[in-house]
A and B are shown apart, each in its own frame.
Chain A
Amino acid sequence: MKKRVLLVEDEPNIIEAITFLLSREGWHVDTQKDGATAVKRVRELQPDLLMLDHMLPGKSGLDILKELRSDDQFKSLPILMLTARGQMRDRAEAEAAGVSRFMTKPFSNTEVLAAVRDLMRN
């Protein structure tokens, strides 16, 4: 059975590129553009991996991360945060909230794939 990743990202062409990349790697990719209902979607889909943009309409990636980590069910869910906000403060906040990996845009495909493989190995 294919591993399932939920990509929460509002940039359509990043969604297409990552969907292509991960599908090629054998993943089943679900996508979500809106931050407001992202947590609900995670509960429905129970993904093996969550890829989360930092700046989203409706609710920020950081708030989604905090909400998920406050739920025992998602404490160990691998969460890869993709963001153009590379400041140390944002990174520190995400790490404090329990992000598994933090990656800044513009990232390379190689980095994304390596991070995904690494997260699934651990």
Chain B
Amino acid sequence: MMREGLTGSRIRERRGMVGLKQAELASRIGISASYLNLIEHNRRRIGGKLLLNIASALGVDPSALTEGAEAALIAKLREAASAAQLPKVDVGNADEFAGRFPGWAEVLAAGYRRIGALERTVEALSDRLSHDPKLAASVHELLSTAAAIRSTASILADDKKITTEWRDRFHSNLDQDSRRLAESSKALVNYLDSQSTEQGDHTVGSPREEVDFFLADNNYSFESLETGATTVDELVVQSEGLVSESARHIAKGILQQLKLDANDVGLKNLQYQLELVGLDPILLATHFAVSVSTILRRLGSLTDLNAGLVVCDRTGSLLFRKPTKGFTIPRFDAPCALLPLFDGLSNVGQISHGRVALAGRSEVEFEIFAVAEPVSKPSYNSAPLIQATMLAVPLSSGKASTLPRATEIGATCRVCPKEDCPARREPSILSSGF
């Protein structure tokens, strides 16, 4: 069977745009109308001089007929096929599928994109499900629609002998469900917005949530505290979001640590040294004569670095979480056991350095540094209290090649698509691939 792209479809589309009939274009470039018809229906491979002639006759650059959206579409189909763990031979047929059935290919790719977006929404919200029945019902609606889309799209992709009647019906169902998904998503966002407006962020949940919102509202940056313009107590008292005594206690601990860190490592000085030596926490710790965990916390405060930061105690309980785009840290559920954060708990003082990729989103990668260090004073016959700290810096594509292969991690088991994971504690509410 031939392998054709969407070049023919693009030629047909361009011809329509310039108002040429098929026979007219065929005549101008010196081929028969029937042969042009085959080309336009992606039944004949096209390239070389003929492509140049057609492009010239249509008044476009040849690359406009062969590149762009086609490549993106095929890449998305391959991604969908890989996620579905289809055999390699089927993954390789993505271009043929896109060439023969461009409309269906667009539908499948769009469905796959929607499912990806939905999974990310679910990941961000799943922590709150058991705390908010209305939210649970909304997400149930979203997941049911996603299930319908997924199942239907999978049938269309897999079943080559499907009758026209069923195919049309499924096409119509996909259209309905896509609209429904868009409406449900909008309703969910409106609900969350109204919650925020009616209740205020500070009353959303636990003391830990109050602190998380307090930190996020301040963009994890407390310049007035760093410069000495305000004190920890003043900041805590002035915050309207810190309502409960527990939240104020937790926030004080975090701010006191930040103040101590700021005394040792000023942010401007850190930024300067970072530009000099690069992202090397050991060198920076040596320069400032502080612990590596201090440097990781300070790097987490640098707005420009846009890094995520997470700290846990020796039980694995999270003490501090600063998410960043693509790096989600669950509020209620236990995080992924594969987080390098936990490596150091059994190897105190060892500094982990590597990269991680998010399961199901391999395009999102982070350079990570992690270390566990004692936080209690030395004493006889008692194990020290330790804290582990991990910094996650969004990885630029150029740096990826210099680091070891990425470890695939998730946010938490319930929303992780990675099947057969040795660290899985419970089944995922997502499934991987079609």
Residues of A within 8 A of B (CB): 11, 13-14, 16-18, 20-21, 24, 55, 82, 84-89, 91, 104-112
The answer to whether residues A13 and B428 also contact, given A21-B151, A109-B158 and a CB cut-off of 8 A, is: no
What are some 19 contacts across the A-B interface (CB < 8 A)? A14-B147, A16-B169, A17-B152, A17-B173, A84-B140, A84-B144, A86-B414, A87-B130, A88-B426, A89-B130, A91-B427, A104-B427, A105-B144, A106-B149, A106-B151, A107-B147, A108-B150, A109-B158, A112-B151
Question: Contact: A109 with B143, CB < 8 Å?
Answer: no
List which B262-300 residues lie within 8 A (CB) of chain A.
none
A48 to chain B, nearest CB (A): 21
Distance in angstroms from A36 CB to nearest chain B CB is 19
Give 1 or 0 for each of B122-148: 1 = CB within 8 Å of chain A CB: 000000011000001001100111111
Nearest first, the 7 A-B pairs at minimum CB distance are A86-B429, A84-B143, A105-B147, A17-B151, A13-B148, A106-B147, A106-B146
- Residues of B within 8 Å of A88, CB to CB, are 426
- Find chain B residues with CB under 8 A from A89 CB: 130
B155 within 8 A of A: yes
What total of A-B pairs shows CB separation below 8 Å? 90
Q: Is the interface of B mostly helix, strand, loop or mixed?
A: helix
Report yes or no: B140 in contact with A55, Cβ–Cβ below 8 A: yes
With a cutoff of 8 Å between Cβ atoms, the chain A residues found around residue B148 in the complex are 11, 13-14, 17
> Is B220 an interface residue, CB under 8 A from the partner?
no
Provide the residues of chain B in CB contact with A11, threshold 8 Å.
144-145, 147-148
B residues near A21, Cβ cutoff 8 Å: 151, 155
Given contacts A16-B173, A87-B130, 11 further A-B contacts (CB under 8 A): A13-B152, A21-B155, A84-B139, A104-B427, A104-B429, A105-B147, A105-B429, A106-B115, A106-B431, A107-B147, A109-B154
Q: Chain A residue with minimal CB distance to B84?
A: A108
Interface size for B (C-beta < 8 A) is 37
Interface residues of B in 386-419 (CB under 8 A from A): 414
Cβ of B170 < 8 Å from any Cβ of A?
yes
Q: In the complex, A111→B430 CA distance in Å?
A: 12
| Residues of chain A contacted by B430 (CB below 8 angstroms) | 104, 106
Q: A17-B151, A88-B426 are in contact. Are A105 and B146 (CB under 8 A)?
A: yes
A-chain residues with CB within 8 Å of residue B213 when the two chains form the complex:
none
CA distance A98 to B430 in the complex (A): 23
Contact A106 B166 (CB under 8 A): no
- Find chain A residues with CB under 8 A from B104 CB: none
Contact A108 B433 (CB under 8 A): yes
**Minimum CB distance partner of A10 in chain B:** B144
Q: Are A13 and B154 in contact (CB under 8 A)?
A: no
- B177 contacts A by Cβ under 8 Å: yes
| Cβ contact within 8 Å between B169 and A111 | no
> A111: nearest residue on chain B (CB-CB)?
B431
Is B434 in contact with chain A by the CB < 8 A criterion?
yes
B147 / chain A contacts, CB cutoff of 8 Å: 11, 14, 82, 84, 105-107
Is B350 at the interface (CB under 8 A from chain A)? no
Measured in the bound complex, the distance between the Cα atoms of B173 and A104 in whole Å is 21
B227 CB within 8 Å of chain A: no
* B414 contacts A13, C-beta separation under 8 Å: no
Chain B 216-248 near chain A by CB (<8 Å), digits 1 or 0: 000000000000000000000000000000000
Judge whether B176 is part of the interface by a CB distance below 8 angstroms: yes
Bound CA span A106–B118, Å: 10
Residues of A within 8 A of B170 (CB): 16-17, 20
A13 cross-chain contacts in B, Cβ below 8 A: 148, 152, 173, 176-177
- What is the CB-to-nearest-CB distance from B127 to chain A, in angstroms, rounded to a whole number? 12
A18 to B152, CA, bound (A): 9
Residue of B nearest to A14 (CB): B148
Within the assembled complex, what's the spacing in Å between the Cα atoms of A109 and B157?
11
Q: Please, which residue of chain B has its CB at the minimum distance from the CB of A24?
A: B159
Bound complex: CA of A94 vs CA of B288, how far in Å? 57
A21 to B158, CA, bound (A): 11
User: Which residues of A have CB within 8 Å of B136?
Assistant: 85
Q: Which residues of B contact A20 (CB under 8 A)?
A: 155, 166, 170
- Give the distance in Å from the alpha carbon of A112 to the alpha carbon of B152 in the complex: 13
